[in-house]
Structure 1
Amino acid sequence: MEIATEERYGTRHRCGIVLGPALFAAALLLPESFLPGEARLVAAVTALMGALWICESIPLAVTALLPVVIFPIAGIAPLPKTASSYAAPEIFLFMGGFFIAVAMQRWGLHRRIALGIVCIFGCRGPRIILGFMIATAAISLWVSNTATAMMMLPIALAVLRTLEEHGGASEPGFGEFRTALLLGIAYGASIGGVGTLIGTPPNLVFAAQVRSLYPGAEPVSFVRWMAVGLPFAAVFLPIAWIFLTRAALRGSRLGFGDAGGAIRAARRELGPMSRGERAALAVFLAAVAGWVTRGDVAIGSFTLRGWESLAGLSGNVHDATVAVAAAVALFVIPVDWRKGVFLLDWRAAKEIPWGILILFGGGIALGAGFLESGLAARIAAGMSLFAGAPLPVVIALSATIVTFLTEITSNTAVAAIMLPILGSTAIGFGVHPFALMIPAAISASCAFMLPVATPPNAIMFSSGMIPMTGMVRIGIVMNLIGVALVTLLMYLVAIPVFGLRLAELPAWAHP
Structure 2
Amino acid sequence: METRQKIGLFLGPLLFAIFYFIPSITGLGDEPRAVLAVTLWVAAWWITEAMPIPATSLMPIFLLPIAGGADQSTAAMAYADPIVFMYMGGFTIALAIQKWNLHRRIAMFILSYVGTGSQRIILGIIIATAGLSMWISNAATALMMLPIALALIEEIKEKNFFDEASLNRFAKSLLLTVAYAASIGGLATIIGSVPNAVFVAVASNSLDRTVSFFDWFLFGFPLTLILLTGMYFYMTKIQFKVENQKEISSDFAKDQLKELGPMSYEEKAVLTVFSVVGFLWMSSGFLPEAYTLSDTSISMIGAVSMFLFPARQEKGGLMIWKDMKELPWGILLLFGGGLSLAAAFESSNLTEWFGGLLEGLGVLPFIVILIALAAIVLFMTEIMSNTAVSNMLLPISIGLALAIGVDPYPIMAIVALTASCAFMLPISTPPNAAVFSSDYLTINDMVKAGFWMNILAIFVIVLFVYFWQPVVLN
**Does the TM-score normalized on the shorter chain lie above 0.5?**
yes
1:334 pairs with 303, 310, 321, which one? 310
Counterpart secondary structure, 1:173: helix
Shift in Å, 1:23: 2.3
1:25 pairs with 17, 24, 28, which one? 17
2:70 pairs with 77, 90, 94, which one? 77
Counterpart secondary structure, 1:157: helix
* CA deviations over 1:50-86 (Å, ceiling 9, x no partner): 2211111211111111101101111222222211100
Mind listing any 5+ residue stretches in structure 1 that lack a counterpart? 1-8, 298-303, 312-316, 500-511
> Whose helix proportion is higher, 1 or 2?
2
- Find the aligned partners of 1:391 and 1:276 in 2 and give their Cα distance: 51
Shift in Å, 1:414: 0.3
Residue 468 (structure 2) aligns with:
493
Residue 275 (structure 2) aligns with:
285
Residue 350 (structure 2) aligns with:
375
Shift in Å, 1:443: 0.6
Q: Matches of residues 314-353 of structure 1 in structure 2 within 5 Å?
A: 318-336=294-312, 340-353=315-328
Q: Matches of residues 376-395 of structure 1 in structure 2 within 5 Å?
A: 376-395=351-370
Percent of matched pairs sharing the same residue? 40
Q: Say if 1:305 and 1:250 are closer, same or farther in 2 by CA, change over 3 A.
A: closer
- Find the aligned partners of 2:164 and 2:445 in 1 and give their Cα distance: 20
Residue 235 (structure 1) aligns with:
226
Shift in Å, 1:268: 1.4
Q: Say if 1:33 and 1:86 are closer, same or farther in 2 by CA, change over 3 A.
A: closer
Mind listing any 5+ residue stretches in structure 2 that lack a counterpart? none
The answer on 1:222 being equivalent to 2:213 is: yes
- Find the aligned partners of 1:170 and 1:18 in 2 and give their Cα distance: 54
Shift in Å, 1:196: 0.4
- Find the aligned partners of 2:221 and 2:264 in 1 and give their Cα distance: 30
Length-normalised TM-score, structure 1: 0.89
* CA deviations over 1:177-203 (Å, ceiling 9, x no partner): 111111100111100000000001100
- Find the aligned partners of 1:72 and 1:435 in 2 and give their Cα distance: 32
Q: Say if 1:73 and 1:159 are closer, same or farther in 2 by CA, change over 3 A.
A: same
Length-normalised TM-score, structure 2: 0.96
Q: Mean alpha-carbon deviation: is it higher for 187-196 or for 264-273? A: 264-273
Q: Mean alpha-carbon deviation: is it higher for 86-95 or for 47-56? A: 47-56
1:310 pairs with 288, 291, 312, which one? 291
Shift in Å, 1:251: 5.0
Counterpart secondary structure, 1:334: coil
Q: Mean alpha-carbon deviation: is it higher for 172-181 or for 236-245? A: 172-181
Residue 152 (structure 1) aligns with:
145
Counterpart secondary structure, 1:342: coil
- Find the aligned partners of 1:95 and 1:256 in 2 and give their Cα distance: 44
How many residues are matched?
A: 473
Q: Matches of residues 500-511 of structure 1 in structure 2 within 5 Å?
A: none
Shift in Å, 1:138: 0.3
* CA deviations over 1:345-364 (Å, ceiling 9, x no partner): 11112211000000000010
> Does the 8 A contact of 1:119 with 1:260 survive in 2?
yes
2:203 pairs with 178, 193, 210, which one? 210
- Find the aligned partners of 1:105 and 1:386 in 2 and give their Cα distance: 47
Q: Matches of residues 253-268 of structure 1 in structure 2 within 5 Å?
A: 253-257=244-248, 259-268=249-258
Letter in 1 for 2:294: H
Shift in Å, 1:32: 6.2
Residue 300 (structure 1) aligns with:
none
- Find the aligned partners of 1:26 and 1:468 in 2 and give their Cα distance: 39
Q: Matches of residues 72-471 of structure 1 in structure 2 within 5 Å?
A: 72-168=65-161, 170-215=163-208, 218-257=209-248, 259-294=249-284, 297=285, 304-306=286-288, 308-310=289-291, 318-336=294-312, 340-471=315-446
Letter in 2 for 1:202: P
Counterpart secondary structure, 1:424: helix
Shift in Å, 1:491: 2.5
- Find the aligned partners of 2:461 and 2:122 in 1 and give their Cα distance: 24
The answer on 1:14 being equivalent to 2:25 is: no
Counterpart secondary structure, 1:350: helix
Letter in 2 for 1:35: L
Q: CA RMSD in A?
A: 1.7
Q: Mean alpha-carbon deviation: is it higher for 200-209 or for 33-42? A: 33-42
Q: Say if 1:115 and 1:76 are closer, same or farther in 2 by CA, change over 3 A.
A: same
